[in-house]
Chains A and B, each alone.
Chain A
């Protein structure tokens, strides 16, 4: 158990809809990362937050947005969903400022867009 909690574990929705994925980081970790995992693209970095502030952006679509709340949990919002958005979405947390290369990943949220 990594200590990172993600909900929901599975989500099935239709094209054009909007969903919200939730992540609670490990106790004490201020930094939260979101990754998208698909079969052909591997793990793609989407966005990082530290203590409520956006710190880095990766390949995140404009239809996607995220935020980190004062209690440090984070939400990833996906809107105007397309079939190609079907993927596993992982949240990870880390000890900010230390380049240990170690991210602690949750078990992911599997999104299926029909």
Chain B
């Protein structure tokens, strides 16, 4: 059961362009929405995250937009650079009991930024 749906599967963007990755969820128990970035041969690393009481969060060239009513959120990468080429995962966190939280990941988007 795919609880977090991510699109597109792959994305090619020209250097300087805007990269947009979208995610949708169904479970209203999710209460924290991080994005992870993974380079080849490395583990995923937290990039930016948002709580559902905020509609937008910006950190440098990276922005999360969150639409609670539509249960959708997206990552925008402004002025995309070749160094941004990586796989991006959206995720959603929920309380799983006994003080534990669990992350559910989307299937990932492979971003290629071409010069």
Contact = CB atoms under 8 A, between A and B. Distances in A.
Counting chain B residues whose Cβ lies within 8 A of the other chain, the interface size class is: 20 to 34
Contacts of A33: 103
A99 B96 contact: no
Among A33, A99, A106, max chain B CB count under 10 A is at A99
A42 interface: yes
Given A43-B89, A101-B32, A101-B93, A50 B44 contact: no
B99 A99 contact: no
Contact of B103 (A2, A4, A40, A101): A101
Contacts of A70: none
Contacts of B33: 101
Interface string A62-103: 000000000000000000000000000010101011011111
B100 A96 contact: yes
Interface in B40-67: 41-46, 49
A101 B95 contact: no
A35 B99 CA distance: 20
Given A55-B96, A90-B43, A105-B43, A99 B107 contact: no
Interface residues of A, number: 29
Contacts of A107: 41-43
Nearest to A90: B43
Contacts of B43: 2, 4, 90, 92, 105-108
Contact of A101 (B34, B45, B98, B99): B34
17 contacts: A31-B100, A43-B105, A45-B102, A48-B102, A50-B98, A55-B98, A56-B96, A58-B102, A96-B99, A97-B99, A99-B31, A99-B93, A100-B49, A101-B46, A101-B49, A102-B34, A107-B43
What 10 A-B pairs come out closest when comparing CB atoms? A105-B43, A42-B107, A101-B34, A43-B105, A101-B32, A101-B93, A55-B100, A99-B101, A56-B96, A102-B46
Interface of A: 2, 4, 31, 33, 35, 40-43, 45, 48, 50, 55-56, 58, 90, 92, 94, 96-97, 99-103, 105-108
